[in-house]
Structure 1
Amino acid sequence: MEQPAASGPPNVAVRAAEKRGYAVSKEQPERPGRPTLDAGRSGGVTVVGDPPRRPHARQRISTTLDLIRANPTGRIALKIFIAIAGALVVTIGIALIPLPGPGWLLVIAGLGIWAVEFHWARRLLGFTRRHVHGWTQWVTRQSLPVRLVLGAVGLVFVATVVWLSLKYSLGIDVVAEVMHYLATH
């Protein structure tokens, strides 16, 4: 009887990578619900508890990235692609910071893209997560009046940034327009 294949990256991808001379790790941690060899029975009978599940998306992405990194050209191409994609998302996020919308969210998403390939971005993303989590925990421990003041300060800050952005980038002075409207009507 044949032994069951070791769980790991897709066999076609492994064979293709090995054919080209690249080393691909076939070891993966054991996952529940996967076929296992029952040592207590003779003949290597495979016992299946649950039906086999497809690997999670993270595991698939990790395996794909490992296969790409196994090739020297793929490793360089991946680094360039990640650098460009992260820079594009971060640049769009920075451009959107003064406007109402997901500016900071896009900056953090771009940092997450860079963190796939660059260690400095992974550290910076961890730093950002820790401080945002700490700020959020601190605010939730405060009384309602303090949270209302913090919210009001945040709204004033956002309104000021929007006003200055419109005034200096588009030449529209919203405050002057409102004052003119109130004076004429």
Structure 2
Amino acid sequence: MTGVKDQTSERHWLDRIREKPGGRLAVKITVTVLGVAVIVVGAFLIPLPGPGWLIVLAGLAILALEFHWARRLLAFARHQLDRWTGWIKRQSLLVRAVIGVLGLVFVAAVVWASVKYSLGVDLWREARDLTGW
């Protein structure tokens, strides 16, 4: 019940701004700039370990305040995420473990490539040198 009340008061607050001269345009511009900026930051963070996709979805949620296409895309993304998590939950422990290990390998590869190509440090070689392999 609290979520509905908060959403209603937020809508009312935005509607009050939209009713003022130039308010509709100001809200649209602000939402667009902020939403796109958040999506761009999230897109840069996607290959790194962390909440890159979550930040992209947050930017999409900001855009959804003003744009119908963003609301539809956000609904589609939520539906796909629900499908994926539902599928994962139905799998055996072995399948979930394999998916988890593959995810960790992917993240490790992305971190390795990011460090190698941005800082010029080969973590694999450094680890081998430290351990004496």
Q: Is the TM-score greater than 0.5? A: yes
Determine what percentage of the aligned residue pairs are the same residue: 52
Structure 2 match to 1:115: 64
TM-score (normalised: structure 2):
0.91
Measured against aligned partners, the alpha-carbon deviations of 1:159-178 in whole angstroms (never above 9, x if no partner) come to 11111111112212111111
Q: Once superposed, what is the RMSD of the aligned Cα atoms?
A: 1.9
Structure 1 match to 2:81: 132
TM-score (normalised: structure 1):
0.67
Which aligned runs of 4 or more in structure 1 are off by greater than 6 angstroms?
A: none
Count of matched residue positions in the alignment of Structure 1 and Structure 2: 132
Aligned equivalents of 2:65, 2:79: Cα separation in 1: 18
Larger Rg: 1
Indicate which of 5, 15, 18 corresponds to 1:69.
18
Task: Return the structure number with greater relative CO, CA threshold 8 A, min gap 6.
Answer: 2
Matches within 5 A, 1:25-104: 56-104=5-53
Query: Unmatched 5+ residue regions in structure 1?
Result: 1-30, 32-52
Give 1:134 deviation, angstroms: 0.2
Structure 2 counterpart of 1:142, one-letter code: Q
Query: Unmatched 5+ residue regions in structure 2?
Result: none
Give 1:72 deviation, angstroms: 4.7
Indicate which of 120, 123, 126 corresponds to 1:177.
126
Give 1:120 deviation, angstroms: 1.3
